[in-house]
Amino acid sequence: MSFYEHVRADVLRHGAINNPYLIRFRAGDVTDQELHEFAVEFYSFARFFPRILAAQLVNTEDEAVADELTKVLYSELGDGLVKNRHELLYRNFLRSIGIDIHDAMSTPMRPSTRAYIQGMEELYSSRNHATALGASFGLENMAITMWDHLIPGLTLLKENRHPHMDITYFTFHRQLESGHEKAMEHAMEAVEGTGCSSNVHMSDMEKKDFRLGMNAVLDYLEGFWIGLERKPAGSTQTWTTPVQQLASELRGQPH
């Protein structure tokens, strides 16, 4: 197996997309209160992800990688169509289940959500470019599986309890994800030396740093789901794993 195939397989086995919360959500087994909490907490991702992507883009030295990141960022902003801006689509979802946008924006994030958003920001803007690319790779390659848990659950909730629910944000993302995965595959080709015109290869250290970024962002995401599953609002517990601690140390080092 190539390095790309190995790390992609690691993503698909991770607890970020294999956990009790997503299994329960897929079955529509969530209360209206839990749906409200999910919607508000996930909004932090929808709001801040374009900024996170932009930070990675402006810190990326490899122009081929920057090209692929630009495609993903442009997609997040609607591919030039304002009505398709992803955060706007999410606002439509919130309104459709009776959540006021101001209330959603002003609700303090849970510690696990804050750790996820801040962790992504730090990893994506890391001066260690292999770590930043690993984080982006991890997030884009888990996405289809995540949507394939969320969409069936939301569909059941729409059919059974919330007939006016607008789930376009989620179905639209699902349609786009194969393109995002392909962008990450092309970025990997650029740095791993598997592209037809590439003369570069990732060193063993770069591969280690790549894995670190990938695992760290997935750990943060797993913590996000754990926070929704087990921790009540107002909990002060933070979510830190050994790989995140190592990632924090690495971020302070020059590449």
CA distance 255 to 146: 32
Mean pLDDT calculated for residue range 238-250: 50
With 90 as the cut, is the pLDDT of residue 105 above it? yes
Q: Give the tens place of pLDDT for each residue, 180-216.
A: 556 566 666 656 654 434 445 788 999 999 999 999 9
Percent of the chain residues topping a pLDDT of 90: 59
Mean pLDDT calculated for residue range 88-101: 97
Mean pLDDT calculated for residue range 219-239: 74
Closest CA to 94 of 35, 45, 29: 35
Exposed e or buried b per residue across 35-73, where buried means at least 16 C-beta atoms within 10 angstroms of its C-beta? bbbbbbbbbbbbbbbbebbbbbbeebeeebbbebbebbb
* Domains, the chain, ordered by start: 3-251 (1.20.910.10)
Are the beta carbons of 8 and 134 closer than 8 angstroms? no
